[in-house]
Amino acid sequence: MIGKYEIEVYNNKAHYFLSIKRNITILQGNSATGKTELIRLIQEYEENGVSSGITLKCEAKCTVLTMVDWERRLESLTGHIVFIDETASFLKTQRFAELVKGSDNYFVIVTRDDLGMLPYSIDEIYGLKNDEQKYRTYHKVYNEMFRLYNFDISKSIVPETVITEDSNSGYDFFSLVFPEKCISAHGKDNVYNEIRKVRQQSILAIVDGAAFGSEIGKILRYLKWSDSECTIYAPESFEYIILSSGLFDVPKEILDETYLHADSKRFMSWEEFFTYYLADITRNSVFQYGKAKLGEAFKTDGAVKKIVAVLPMNYGRIIH
């Protein structure tokens, strides 16, 4: 499934507007913000149509996946936006993660928990905000999505320690940019522990934002109460940085409208798509890209300068 979908759901008391463009979207936030009511409206519309008094507008079919025969239903669905409430106990199971991989559907999951088995984007974690004044005459509450994590880029720092999620090509590159400062966490699950190990130093943590969603909340909660000074740099992926650098002729829509190309059936996350795309366009060239190890062509002065130029940093300095 590809594309960007606008979803509008409303009755005489509540009005929701959502914009969905990746295979996994997470809705979080406090109680009483309308998340469960959104699921209820979609399910009631699915069961009773317009006679429910609910209107649902979307170019894709929307459905609610519940505990009732969920595996069989999910295996049979295609081209749907699948809504799931946090009360569904299968959310944290390996089987659910297996069925999401390769699914020709998008998923909107209401949960306050971190779903470590699913690679979802930092940019696709949302809360719902409501405006009771917008439909004041009708006492209607208008709800729309807002991104929970927005990283400010306004202050320069010089990190004493740089932690990369990647242990392969990305680590190779950032070791060149930050000589003798760079360490690898060897995977997204270990970034939190590596940050905790480094105390009373200025830290730069570089992660693949396209698949780091399950980890970011835990890290930010720790940093809120910690004495550590840590800047999180979360581009889509290291491959996205290279594709953005001008080192190769990449159509603008690949980077700006990725949702038209990153088919959820083939790519579990946009990180996987960018890795595939970069490897494909560099195949059989001196720049042939491999994720395991950075090729020597990427380490030349000219290539390094081009890649560094698109980062919020300049050889050891990063904008926070």
Domain residue ranges of the chain, discontinuous segments joined by +:
5-147, 156-319
Q: Please report which confidence band the pLDDT of residue 320 belongs to, taking 50, 70 and 90 as the band edges.
A: very low
Q: Please report which confidence band the pLDDT of residue 318 belongs to, taking 50, 70 and 90 as the band edges.
A: very low
pLDDT digits (tens, 9 = 90+) for 142-189: 788 888 887 765 556 788 999 999 999 999 999 999 999 999 999 999
Does residue 277 surpass a pLDDT of 60? yes
Does residue 262 surpass a pLDDT of 80? yes
The 10 Å Cβ neighbour count of residue 120 is 24
Give 270: exposed, middle or buried? Use CB within 10 Å, 0-12, 13-18, 19+.
buried
How far is Cα 211 from Cα 119, in angstroms, rounded to an integer? 4
Does residue 134 surpass a pLDDT of 60? no
pLDDT in the model for residue 303: 96
Does residue 49 surpass a pLDDT of 70? yes
pLDDT digits (tens, 9 = 90+) for 180-235: 999 999 999 999 999 999 977 889 999 999 999 999 999 999 999 888 888 899 99
Residue 60 token pair:
């894709």
pLDDT in the model for residue 155: 59
Q: For domain 5-147, is the CATH number 3.40.50?
A: yes
Q: What is the pTM of this model?
A: 0.91
pLDDT in the model for residue 154: 54
pLDDT in the model for residue 313: 63
pLDDT in the model for residue 77: 97
Q: Please report which confidence band the pLDDT of residue 315 belongs to, taking 50, 70 and 90 as the band edges.
A: very low
Side chain identity at residue 296, one-letter code: E
